[in-house]
Structure 1
Amino acid sequence: MLWCGPRFVGACRRRYGPAFTLRIASMGTVVYLADPADIKAVFAGDPRIYHAGEANSMLKGLLGDTSVLVIDDDVHRDRRRLMLAPFARDAVARQAPLIAEIAAENIASWPVGTTFPVAPRMSQITLEVILRTVIGASDPARLAALREVMPRLLSVGPWQTLALSNPKLLARRPWRGLREAIAEADRLLYAEITERRADPDLGNRTDALAMLIRAAGSDVAAGAAAGSDVAAGAATGSDVAAGAAPMTDRELRDQLMTLLVAGHDTTATGLSWALERLTRHPEILARAVQAARDGDDDYLDAVAKETLRIRPVVFDVGRILKAPVELAGHLLPAGIMVVPAMVVVHASDAVYPQADRFDPDRMAGVTHSPSEYLPFGGGNRRCLGATFALVEFRVVLREVLRRVELDTTELPAERRRLKHVIFVPHRGARIRIRSRRVPPTPE
């Protein structure tokens, strides 16, 4: 999780070296690690010693106490195994046409000739993608209600965040609005779960909720999933869930809420930063437009990866030590948090020459070490939805560049502003569309 801003962490790195200690009220002792070798040791470390779920415990009030983000040890291993199938490469590829359709519909409503913040539009797109591909929501009334309530949960301020880290506060009057929003979201998600369990066509559905129920060995799906999942390239329920108990409705709710929270605003913010960067680099924008028209996914992927390097959305990922560990030449005691300093590594000229320059070419055809490129974390806690996020990023960016002509700008870069646990463009990534384009007709 994120504790300090990038400038402060960078200044500490310059003053104290690649490993430094911060003592933060309510968080205790936090040791930042900026050497890729030390980061590799954390990501490769024994998950029984390096507890990421415990480090994320402040999210329990929203995600629930069985969320894959807040659990550790064997429970985390089993739940993560159950959740792999919906995010396998083939499963994600099947969702690309729907993602493109959702993006195109939204882009058609963007104003021409007027400067506007694109971040809210990107949030609409990514929320719709999550609702329809991950949850599989199709009931019009329920979709409309989810579109209304989820932004309220994802735009909480510091005051409301207090109740997420201390759920007992939700029972008090100042947090009544947040409590009611969570209750409404729960009602809608439980309705989706009930409907999906009873769906006679469950075995043929491709949404993540259906796949989770099948993978968890649901009695409803006990035979129907076996053939369809293998044919689609996903694992069968018995392969995925070996030794794992089926998820209860509560556990399914917690995973859905996790996917909504972790996979919605993060991708929307990355896409917003991409347009903020491209409109300030005319030559790169022109190349990206040509790539979108030519179907050059490799260059669009490079734009996505470079955006997430130079403007990482989530800056830190922490681990609570459950036993003493020797790291960075020091014996660190149990109970402290170690944090791979993602923002410092991404901004290092030693790792990325001229690191402050936006240059997608540095990402083209290159596979960086997981301890040097870590926008999705690493190790056994690497983001489950990383493949989905990158595909969504590429597809949405491609639709934008094929359908509108963006004006470039010489305005200063937008600053990074903290929104809950992610950093967003402080003005919402303001862009201006010069004209609309007619996208090329697929051959």
Structure 2
Amino acid sequence: MTSTSLPPGPPLPPVVQALIMLRFGPRFTAACRRRYGSVFTLRVAAMGTLVYLADPADIKTVFAGDPRIYHAGEANSMLKGLLGDTSVLVVDDDLHRERRRLMLPPFARDAVVRQEELIAGIAAEHLARWPVGTTFPVAPWTARITLEVILRTVIGASDPARLAALREVMPRLLTVGPWETAAIANQALLRRRPWRRLRTAIAEADRLLYAEIADRRTDPDLSARTDALAMLVRAGGLTDTELRDQLMTLLVAGHDTTATGLAWALERLTRHPEILARAERAALSGDDEYLDAVAKETLRIRPVVFDVGRVLTEPVELAGHRLPAGVMVVPGMLLVHDDPAVYPDPDRFDPDRMVGSALSPSTYLPFGGGPRRCLGATFAMLEFRVVLREILRRAVLDSTGAPAERRRLKHVIFVPHRGARIRVLARRDTPIAAAGQAPSCPVSQHTG
């Protein structure tokens, strides 16, 4: 039998590597790449042996590999405590393929475009409450917008009391620190007293989601509804528990990630006055191509998710090594996005590099790749563009010379360490553009 081997890597104990990854993940992996090359091994407590890949050719091999050998669900198993055992993110093989097939229709392009006007209206309603003339962290505000978008477009929640309860409980599940993350990764801890608050929040969210599912199953107008939950119920084949797990997955994966991406976009734009001015002109004129480029470049230079992993179910030849089963191979998203051979001058925030570009999933990874690519990617990019457009049309943003905000790891995503602090100089009164139409010019401007 052919022996297996692992690439070189730091000799630090797994607990030490885990602590370094939690506190300095991007800097640590970048240093390892400089020291060991485009493939290296980390041993991280609670995660096991990780083989990082920075060569796009190796990443392409992983994404194109047999999903029966490259298990993404197993790599995401730490999320089961929150998402549930049947979430599309934590299952593999035939079950994943069938689950994904059922969930794709609500996120097809035509279905997504139908939600554009609703998303714009939600953004406009929330933007009217943003403070004017004072510096504030924008991340909590973008989070409120994207949560409302998910609740209304994906879950279809309309009952006022239930909507209010969901708005209250979901942020408690999404603002978890290392202490709560430990219980999500190890579900047995949820039964213990120190994690009572988290357990209570999950139970309350479950109660509300099951109520929505029950309403949808008995809704006489089910055939006319456009929310994702209604489409999943119409498709059939999912139990209430399976529906709950998919809804929780969409809430967690689709809300906090987009909110954080928007916060990073505003953090980047306000530090680049010329790009901010151009983005404002694009928003006012209906130039969606440039706003899409801003969104794509933001997710390149400040990817929200650290990386994507696959657990090997059998030994494979990869990157010049025969890797053993049980190892997690990790396409290094930040390593590729920061590679000057792929993106010249990678530290420069430059949306122009994205205009008209054909992006490859082996060099542009914010949504993963292969059969496990984020099924909500089309929805996320439309939401990103629409909300960013409404912000730039309705708020006159001040530029700043403040230092760039650092990345801070929150659960499994990177957020701006100060919440992306911005200042709104004035508000514009601007009508909401219908889907597919260029926005009209603002009719007035005031400072609020």
Report the 3-state secondary structure (helix = DSSP H, G, I; strand = E; otherwise coil) of the residue aligned with 2:51.
strand
Confirm whether residue 354 of structure 1 aligns to residue 374 of structure 2.
Answer: no
Measured against aligned partners, the alpha-carbon deviations of 1:78-121 in whole angstroms (never above 9, x if no partner) come to 00000000000010000000000000010000111000000000
Measured against aligned partners, the alpha-carbon deviations of 1:405-430 in whole angstroms (never above 9, x if no partner) come to 00000010000001110000000000
Aligned partner of 1:264 in structure 2 is: 255
| Equivalent residues in 2 for 1:153-164, closer than 5 Å | 153-164=173-184
Aligned partner of 1:314 in structure 2 is: 305
Q: In structure 2, what is the Cα distance between the partners aligned to 1:196 and 1:29?
A: 43
Aligned partner of 2:47 in structure 1 is: 27
Confirm whether residue 378 of structure 1 aligns to residue 398 of structure 2.
Answer: no
- Equivalent residue for 2:113, pick from 74, 93, 98: 93
Confirm whether residue 413 of structure 1 aligns to residue 398 of structure 2.
Answer: no
| Equivalent residues in 2 for 1:128-147, closer than 5 Å | 128-147=148-167
Confirm whether residue 66 of structure 1 aligns to residue 60 of structure 2.
Answer: no
Aligned partner of 2:74 in structure 1 is: 54
Q: Cα distance, 1:51 vs. partner?
A: 0.2
Q: Cα distance, 1:196 vs. partner?
A: 0.2
Q: In structure 1, what is the Cα distance between the partners aligned to 2:188 and 2:35?
A: 40
Aligned partner of 2:270 in structure 1 is: 279
Displacement over 2 Å in runs of 4+: 438-443
Report the 3-state secondary structure (helix = DSSP H, G, I; strand = E; otherwise coil) of the residue aligned with 2:429.
coil
Aligned partner of 2:206 in structure 1 is: 186
Report the 3-state secondary structure (helix = DSSP H, G, I; strand = E; otherwise coil) of the residue aligned with 2:368.
coil
| Equivalent residues in 2 for 1:174-213, closer than 5 Å | 174-213=194-233
Confirm whether residue 300 of structure 1 aligns to residue 291 of structure 2.
Answer: yes
Measured against aligned partners, the alpha-carbon deviations of 1:172-226 in whole angstroms (never above 9, x if no partner) come to 111111111000000000000000000011111000000011122xxxxxxxxxx
Report the 3-state secondary structure (helix = DSSP H, G, I; strand = E; otherwise coil) of the residue aligned with 1:255.
helix
Aligned partner of 1:220 in structure 2 is: none
Moved more, 84-93 or 167-176: 167-176
Residue type matched to 2:240 in 1?
Answer: D
Q: In structure 2, what is the Cα distance between the partners aligned to 1:140 and 1:303?
A: 35
Q: In structure 1, what is the Cα distance between the partners aligned to 2:391 and 2:207?
A: 34
Confirm whether residue 439 of structure 1 aligns to residue 433 of structure 2.
Answer: no
Residue type matched to 1:270 in 2?
Answer: G
Aligned partner of 1:229 in structure 2 is: none
Aligned partner of 2:132 in structure 1 is: 112
Aligned-CA RMSD value:
1.0
Consecutive unaligned residues in structure 1, runs of 5 or more? 217-245
Aligned partner of 1:242 in structure 2 is: none
Measured against aligned partners, the alpha-carbon deviations of 1:300-342 in whole angstroms (never above 9, x if no partner) come to 0000000000000001100000010000000001011000000
Confirm whether residue 152 of structure 1 aligns to residue 143 of structure 2.
Answer: no
Measured against aligned partners, the alpha-carbon deviations of 1:12-60 in whole angstroms (never above 9, x if no partner) come to 1111000000111122211000000000000000000000000000000
Q: In structure 2, what is the Cα distance between the partners aligned to 1:55 and 1:281?
A: 37
Report the 3-state secondary structure (helix = DSSP H, G, I; strand = E; otherwise coil) of the residue aligned with 2:90.
coil
Residue type matched to 2:159 in 1?
Answer: D
Q: In structure 1, what is the Cα distance between the partners aligned to 2:76 and 2:48?
A: 14
Q: In structure 2, what is the Cα distance between the partners aligned to 1:212 and 1:296?
A: 34
Aligned partner of 2:62 in structure 1 is: 42
Aligned partner of 2:389 in structure 1 is: 398
Aligned partner of 1:15 in structure 2 is: 35
Residue type matched to 1:187 in 2?
Answer: R
Q: In structure 2, what is the Cα distance between the partners aligned to 1:200 and 1:111?
A: 42
Aligned partner of 2:315 in structure 1 is: 324
Q: In structure 1, what is the Cα distance between the partners aligned to 2:61 and 2:41?
A: 18
TM-score of the superposed pair, with normalisation by structure 1? 0.92
Residue type matched to 1:34 in 2?
Answer: A
Report the 3-state secondary structure (helix = DSSP H, G, I; strand = E; otherwise coil) of the residue aligned with 1:156.
coil
Report the 3-state secondary structure (helix = DSSP H, G, I; strand = E; otherwise coil) of the residue aligned with 1:5.
helix
Q: Cα distance, 1:369 vs. partner?
A: 1.1
Q: In structure 2, what is the Cα distance between the partners aligned to 1:264 and 1:26?
A: 26
Aligned partner of 1:247 in structure 2 is: 238
Residue type matched to 1:152 in 2?
Answer: R
Aligned partner of 1:80 in structure 2 is: 100
Report the 3-state secondary structure (helix = DSSP H, G, I; strand = E; otherwise coil) of the residue aligned with 1:437.
strand
Aligned partner of 1:429 in structure 2 is: 420
Residue type matched to 2:359 in 1?
Answer: H
Report the 3-state secondary structure (helix = DSSP H, G, I; strand = E; otherwise coil) of the residue aligned with 1:200.
coil
Q: In structure 2, what is the Cα distance between the partners aligned to 1:113 and 1:154?
A: 29
Q: In structure 2, what is the Cα distance between the partners aligned to 1:208 and 1:43?
A: 27
- The count of aligned residue pairs is 413
Q: In structure 2, what is the Cα distance between the partners aligned to 1:313 and 1:392?
A: 15
Identical-residue share of aligned pairs (%): 79
Residue type matched to 2:205 in 1?
Answer: A
Report the 3-state secondary structure (helix = DSSP H, G, I; strand = E; otherwise coil) of the residue aligned with 2:230.
helix
